């Protein structure tokens, strides 16, 4: 995502850590946070449900019941109201700040959308649509990316009908996010493994070494298990095989990197640990139903 030029021109930079610019409307408030120096254990909390989405840079998030994880551009995080975030900024610099939007949405609007969803698009299993009461970290698909980019423009625009435009975009965003939540690759247990378990350590190891060669044999040594035992335990506890997990994490990273139009496909697949472009293309297309280059071009067309 890109911030509108008028935002960078007009906003006031009053703090080097989590400088906050806020745009308020009837049904939502958009906060844009910028951090220009490294910082640790910065606390943040909202009294409404929030969608946070990374624009630039990297954060390390510490949330209840979660392993700490990197929060990267192209990713979003749903937080219930009053959820306390503890945030590290390991790479923020004056010339390369960390930027993130936080969209606080009225629970009244969310309830209206949920009521409409339950009437018009009931779930196949008969359960009701409802707002998550847990943290949900996901990679933006093309639709969510487009909506967030549009909302960045609308909130900072001076237009007599922008309240109407924003209301429509927020309603679609709520539907898209809830549908994304239904399509999660992993169960919540993936991110809630006991911190002292060997598999928890392996999951962190994978996420921190995606750019390096990873296979069952090497990971089994990290876990101090035999390869066969490690493969069986990993799949039972995480819900997918080690290779499936590695590839899915690499594609999540690739989606984030592809949102930078200046990154080449070669640079992306090498940063994600794929050995060849052909294998990267095959795995990416199986996850996203489109080739990496076409995905990158699609994002740029939707941005403008």
Write out the two tokens for 137: 């970290």
Beta bridge partners of 61: 69, 87
CATH number, domain of 76, equals: 2.60.120.280
Question: What is the C-alpha to C-alpha distance for residues 272 and 253, in angstroms, rounded to an integer?
Answer: 7
Are 162 and 87 in a shared domain? yes
Are 74 and 127 in a shared domain? yes
Q: What is the pLDDT along the chain (304 residues), one digit of tens a residue?
A: 778 887 878 888 889 999 999 999 988 999 999 999 999 999 999 988 899 999 988 899 998 766 788 888 888 899 888 899 999 999 999 988 999 999 999 989 999 999 999 998 887 667 788 887 778 888 787 788 889 999 999 998 888 888 999 999 999 999 988 887 765 544 444 445 555 456 777 888 898 889 899 999 999 998 888 999 888 888 877 778 899 989 988 998 898 888 888 889 999 999 999 989 999 999 998 888 889 998 888 777 655 4
Are 10 and 56 in a shared domain? yes
Are 164 and 201 in a shared domain? no
Are 65 and 148 in a shared domain? yes
Are 172 and 197 in a shared domain? no
Tell the burial category of 128 from Cβ atoms under 10 Å away from its Cβ (0-12, 13-18, 19+): exposed
Domain holding 122, by residue range, is: 5-182
Question: What is the C-alpha to C-alpha distance for residues 263 and 27, in angstroms, rounded to an integer?
Answer: 36
Are 42 and 87 in a shared domain? yes
| End residue of a domain, out of 182, 215, 235 | 182
- Domains identified in the chain, total number: 2
Helices (H), 123-264: 142-156, 162-182, 198-208, 216-222, 227-238, 242-258
Question: What is the C-alpha to C-alpha distance for residues 85 and 44, in angstroms, rounded to an integer?
Answer: 5
């Amino acid at each position: 995502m890109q911030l509108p030029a008028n935002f960078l021109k007009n906003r006031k930079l009053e703090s080097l850590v989590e400088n906050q610019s806020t745009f308020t409307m009837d049904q939502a408030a958009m906060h844009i946070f910028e951090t220009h120096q490294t910082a640790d254990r910065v606390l943040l909390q909202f009294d409404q449900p929030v969608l946070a989405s990374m624009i630039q840079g990297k954060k390390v998030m510490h949330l209840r019941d979660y392993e700490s994880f990197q929060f990267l551009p192209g990713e979003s995080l749903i937080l219930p109201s009053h959820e306390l975030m503890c945030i590290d900024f390991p790479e923020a610099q004056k010339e390369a700040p960390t930027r993130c939007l936080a969209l606080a949405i009225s629970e009244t609007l969310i309830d209206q959308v949920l009521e409409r969803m339950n009437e018009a698009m009931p779930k196949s299993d008969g359960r009701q649509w409802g707002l998550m009461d847990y943290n949900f970290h996901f990679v933006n698909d093309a639709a969510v990316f487009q909506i967030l980019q549009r909302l960045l423009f609308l909130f900072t625009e001076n237009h007599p009908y922008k309240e109407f435009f924003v209301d429509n975009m927020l309603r679609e965003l709520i539907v898209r996010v809830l549908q994304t939540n239904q399509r999660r690759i992993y169960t919540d247990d993936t991110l809630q493994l006991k911190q002292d378990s060997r598999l928890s350590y392996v999951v962190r190891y994978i996420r921190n070494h995606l750019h390096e060669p990873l296979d069952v044999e090497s990971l089994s040594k990290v876990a101090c298990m035999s390869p066969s035992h490690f493969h069986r335990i990993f799949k039972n506890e995480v819900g997918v095989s080690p290779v499936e997990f590695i590839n899915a994490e690499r594609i999540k990273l690739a989606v984030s990197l592809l949102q930078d139009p200046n990154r080449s496909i070669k640079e992306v697949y090498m940063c994600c640990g794929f050995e060849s472009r052909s294998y990267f293309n095959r795995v990416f297309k199986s996850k996203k139903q489109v080739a990496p280059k076409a995905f990158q071009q699609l994002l740029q067309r939707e941005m403008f």
